[in-house]
C-alpha cells in the first residue's frame, strides 16, 4: 500500500500526477498526496518521494534494480557495473539459483570463470568465461561430468584421451599408487590409469600365513635319480613341514597338495600374490649330473634382479628394496638353521633370478635341500628321519 504525505497548503490548487521538483521527479495522487517509500506502476519512490533512477532498491528480502527511466527491470538479463544479473517477472533479482546454464551467486552476480558449490545438488560446478557451466571436460586436475557436476570418488573414462582416471574425494585426479576399493592401482603423473598392482609385501604386517611350494609336479617330475623323482621328495617334505607349521598355529597355503601340473614360470607366483601370505618357500632338491661324488649339501636362494630377465607379472614388486631385504634375511636364517639341524655341507647362500623368486610379490626363498645325483646323499634325503631334520631346520629358521 503506497505511503502518502500531504504537501498542499490552504487555498493552493492540488498537485497531481508527475511533478518535477528541481531535477527530480515525484508523483502525487489525485488527492494531492505525494508517494513516498513505495512502488507505483513499476516505479519506485524513496522516503522523500523522489523517483529512483539507475540504482538498487531493497524491499523486504528482495532486491530490484531501477533503470534510467525509473522502472525496475523485470524478466530479463542486465549488465550492471560490469556484472550480469537476472530478474524475474516481478523484478526480483535472482540469487543462489540456476538460470539455464548460468548460475547467479548470493550477490546476484552471474558466476564467471569460477567454482561454485550448490547445496541443492551437493556438488561443485565450474562456470567458464561467459558464465556457462563446464561439462565433459577437464578444468585443471578436476573433471566436470555431463550436467556440470564435478567428478569425485569415482572412475571416469575420457574418450578424448582414451584413458581411465580416478578422482579423489576432493575431485583431484590420482597419480602414482592409490588404493581404490581395497585394491592398489597405479596411475601416471598426468592421472591416466596404468594397471592394478599386485598385493605386495608390507613390512611389519604379518598374518602368520606361509605359502609353501613343492616344486615340479604332474608331468614335470624334476630331477630323477635312483628310482625316485624330485617331485615326490618335494611333496614328502612339504607334507611334513605343513603339519609341523600348522601345529605351531600357522596357516599354510600351497601351490599343490598332490601330484598335479602347476606352471613354474608365473602360476605359482600368481597364486601366492593373491593371498595374504607373509612369505613364500619353494621346496626343491638338487642335481648336476656330473662328478656326482662331489655334489653335496644344501643351497638356499633369494632373488637377484637381472635386467636380462624382466618380470612378467610382478613389475611393481620384484625389485622392491624391502621385499628383497626381507627375502635375503629369511634365506640367511633358514640356511644357517638347516645346516645346524642336518649337519649338511654348506653348498651356498646364493641369489638368482628364478621365476618363482622374481614373480612373487612377497619375500621369497628357494631351498635346494640336497643332491639327488649323489648316491649317498640320495639315500639320506629320501629317509623320513632326515626329512624331519630338514623340516626342523626350516621351522627354526
Catalytic positions: 368
Residue with cell 558449490: 117
The radius of gyration of the chain's CA atoms, rounded to the nearest angstrom, is 42
**Are the C-beta atoms of residues 51 and 27 closer than 8 Å to each other?**
yes
Rounded to 10°, the helix 384-396/321-342 angle is: 140
Distances (CA, A) of 128 to 86, 117, 135, 136, 139: 18, 14, 10, 13, 9
Cα angle: 319, vertex 353, 235; to 5 degrees: 115
Distances (CA, A) of 283 to 28, 42, 215, 217, 343: 108, 94, 6, 12, 19
Q: What is the DSSP letter of 8?
A: -
Helices vs. strands in the chain: H and E counts, helices first: 6, 29
For 162: left if phi > 0, alpha if psi spans -120 to 50, otherwise beta; the answer is: left
Amino acid at each position: 500500500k503506497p505511503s502518502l504525505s500531504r504537501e498542499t497548503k490552504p487555498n493552493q490548487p492540488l498537485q497531481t500526477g508527475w511533478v518535477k521538483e528541481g531535477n527530480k521527479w515525484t508523483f502525487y495522487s489525485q488527492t494531492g498526496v505525494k508517494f513516498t517509500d513505495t512502488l507505483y506502476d513499476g516505479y519506485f519512490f524513496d522516503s522523500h518521494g523522489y523517483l529512483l533512477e539507475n540504482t538498487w532498491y531493497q524491499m523486504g528480502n528482495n532486491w530490484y534494480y531501477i533503470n534510467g527511466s525509473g522502472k525496475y527491470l523485470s524478466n530479463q538479463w542486465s549488465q550492471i557495473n560490469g556484472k550480469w544479473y537476472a530478474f524475474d517477472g516481478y523484478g526480483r533479482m535472482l540469487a543462489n539459483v540456476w538460470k539455464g546454464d548460468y548460475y547467479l551467486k548470493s550477490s546476484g552476480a552471474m558466476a564467471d570463470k569460477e567454482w561454485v558449490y550448490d547445496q541443492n545438488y551437493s556438488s561443485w560446478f565450474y562456470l567458464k568465461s561467459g558464465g556457462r557451466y563446464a561439462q565433459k571436460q577437464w578444468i585443471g586436475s578436476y573433471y566436470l561430468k555431463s550436467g556440470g557436476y564435478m567428478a569425485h570418488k569415482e572412475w571416469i573414462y575420457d574418450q578424448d584421451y582414451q584413458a581411465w582416471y580416478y578422482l579423489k574425494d576432493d575431485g583431484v585426479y590420482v597419480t602414482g599408487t592409490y588404493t581404490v576399493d581395497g585394491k592398489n592401482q597405479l596411475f601416471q603423473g598426468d592421472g591416466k590409469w596404468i594397471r592394478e598392482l599386485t598385493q605386495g609385501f608390507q613390512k611389519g604386517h604379518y598374518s602368520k600365513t606361509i605359502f609353501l611350494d613343492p616344486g615340479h609336479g604332474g608331468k614335470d617330475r624334476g630331477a630323477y635319480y635312483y628310482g625316485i623323482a624330485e617331485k615326490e621328495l618335494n611333496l614328502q617334505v612339504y607334507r611334513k613341514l605343513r603339519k609341523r607349521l600348522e601345529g605351531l598355529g600357522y596357516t599354510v597355503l600351497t601351490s599343490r597338495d598332490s601330484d598335479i601340473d602347476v606352471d613354474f614360470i608365473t602360476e605359482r607366483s600368481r597364486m601366492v600374490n593373491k593371498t595374504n601370505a607373509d612369505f613364500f618357500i619353494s621346496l626343491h632338491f638338487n642335481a648336476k649330473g656330473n662328478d656326482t661324488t662331489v655334489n653335496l649339501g644344501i643351497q638356499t636362494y633369494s632373488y637377484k634382479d637381472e635386467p636380462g630377465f624382466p618380470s612378467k607379472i610382478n613389475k611393481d614388486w620384484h625389485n622392491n628394496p624391502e621385499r628383497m631385504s626381507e627375502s635375503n634375511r629369511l634365506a640367511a636364517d633358514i640356511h644357517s638353521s638347516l645346516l645346524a639341524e642336518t649337519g649338511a655341507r654348506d653348498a651356498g647362500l646364493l641369489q638368482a633370478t628364478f621365476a618363482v623368486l622374481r614373480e612373487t610379490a612377497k619375500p621369497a626363498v628357494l631351498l635346494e635341500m640336497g643332491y639327488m645325483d649323489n648316491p649317498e646323499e640320495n639315500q639320506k634325503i629320501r629317509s623320513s628321519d632326515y626329512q624331519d631334520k630338514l623340516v626342523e631346520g626350516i621351522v627354526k629358521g
